[in-house]
Structure 1
Amino acid sequence: METSKVIHAIYTDDDVLMSAVKRVKAEKYHIDEIFTPFPVHGLDKAMGLAPTRLAITSFIYGSIGLVFSIWLMNFIMIEDWPQDIGGKPSFSYLENSPAFVPIMFELTVFFAAHLMVITFYLRSKLWPFKKAENPDLRTTDDHFLMEISIHNNQDELVNLLKETGAVEINIVEKEEAH
């Protein structure tokens, strides 16, 4: 394990944090991570993060659910065990498709929701018994933390972060796994 120095700049207001992020990015520094107690609108764009593809995966998962529901209902109600329910004989899937619409909708939503949650957890590397990576517990309550790696520029970074309105600046040794 290697250790490296990082600066933790703590802010108490999301608007001050947003302007600080814009200023730090304008000065060509790379922000490693930002910890916030709630989602801050526009922070991803200010940091220059790529847009999420979770909506695309949601559409794909919903389509899988729809195809699965059509296959399942056709197999169960038409091929495997056809029944005359309420005077509606099971001659073909298309003749009975209006009765299957609620099931198609529910399985589409079920697959999209559950597979999106699983994808989000895997993509975020969240799993049971994972050790928390939050460097300061105050960021779960009312503080915002910006983490920036130091590369022989500690004094300039500290001065810049003070100018942006940081209420506290800490230099921390961070362990990196390789």
Structure 2
Amino acid sequence: MASRVIHALYTDDDVLMDAVKKVRSERYHIEEVFTPFPVHGLDKAMGLPHTRLAITAFMYGCVGLSVAIAMMNYIMIEDWPQNIGGKPSFSFLENMPAFVPIMFELTVFFAAHLMVITFYMRSRLWPFKKAENPDVRTTDDHFLMEVDVANHDVEKLTSFLGDTGAVEIKIVEKDNH
């Protein structure tokens, strides 16, 4: 199923931010904004909800810490206890100060690697996926705002986007797959 959208191209990030605010104030739906670099405050201006990735990172860190504790308890206390430097090997708590670096490293390891996997899954970035960038100039120095045309006067919307500072405006049939 295809839908019609308008691609409005901008050459400055400040002009883009003002345009996003104006488009949202007129109650038009912005499908997506493509930028060559992160624009601070754009997510808030677009009205995107806050991400829960920080909570996910914390949970992944807790998983890493749990794996580290279980692994060290099994390896160093239950399975193969060794007398290293005169430290007692019959209790996890007595050895915990020596285990802190390992616990820290595995916490960071799990959080970092699982967050990368989560980011790719959430962004739908699969191996060999075809790029979805509608205009190659957005990887260099242009900013593109994709506005939904449904139930709106195309001429009025095009004129409005031109007044917001767009240097180029195109109506495009977008494939929704």
TM-score w.r.t. length of structure 1: 0.97
Q: Partner of 1:78: helix, strand, or coil? A: helix
> Matched residues in 2 for 1:91 and 1:176: separation?
61
- Divergent runs of 4+, >3 A: none
Q: Which consecutive residues of structure 2, in runs of 5 or more, have no partner in the other structure? A: none
1:74 partner amino acid: N
Q: Following TM superposition, by how much is the alpha carbon of 1:176 offset from its aligned partner in structure 2, in angstroms?
A: 1.7
Q: Partner of 2:81: helix, strand, or coil? A: coil
User: What does residue 174 of structure 2 align with?
Assistant: 174
> Matched residues in 1 for 2:53 and 2:38: separation?
17
Q: Partner of 2:162: helix, strand, or coil? A: helix
> Considering only aligned residues, what root-mean-square deviation do their CA atoms show, in Å?
0.7
Q: How does 1:57-136 map to 2 (within 5 A)?
A: 57-136=56-135
> Matched residues in 2 for 1:3 and 1:90: separation?
66
Q: Following TM superposition, by how much is the alpha carbon of 1:13 offset from its aligned partner in structure 2, in angstroms?
A: 0.2
> Matched residues in 1 for 2:3 and 2:43: separation?
25
Q: Does 1:10 align with 2:9?
A: yes
User: What does residue 56 of structure 1 align with?
Assistant: 55
Q: Which consecutive residues of structure 1, in runs of 5 or more, have no partner in the other structure? A: none
Q: Following TM superposition, by how much is the alpha carbon of 1:89 offset from its aligned partner in structure 2, in angstroms?
A: 2.5
Q: Does 1:157 align with 2:124?
A: no
> Matched residues in 2 for 1:44 and 1:159: separation?
25
Q: Following TM superposition, by how much is the alpha carbon of 1:26 offset from its aligned partner in structure 2, in angstroms?
A: 0.3
Q: Partner of 1:18: helix, strand, or coil? A: helix
Aligned residues: 176
2:167 partner amino acid: V
Q: Does 1:23 align with 2:22?
A: yes
> Matched residues in 1 for 2:3 and 2:49: separation?
26
CA displacement, residues 70-108 of structure 1 (integer Å, 9 cap, x when unaligned): 010000000000001111120100001000000000000
Q: Following TM superposition, by how much is the alpha carbon of 1:5 offset from its aligned partner in structure 2, in angstroms?
A: 1.5
> Matched residues in 2 for 1:31 and 1:166: separation?
14
> Matched residues in 2 for 1:21 and 1:129: separation?
32
1:20 partner amino acid: A
CA displacement, residues 106-161 of structure 1 (integer Å, 9 cap, x when unaligned): 00000000001101110110111001000000000000000012124211110110
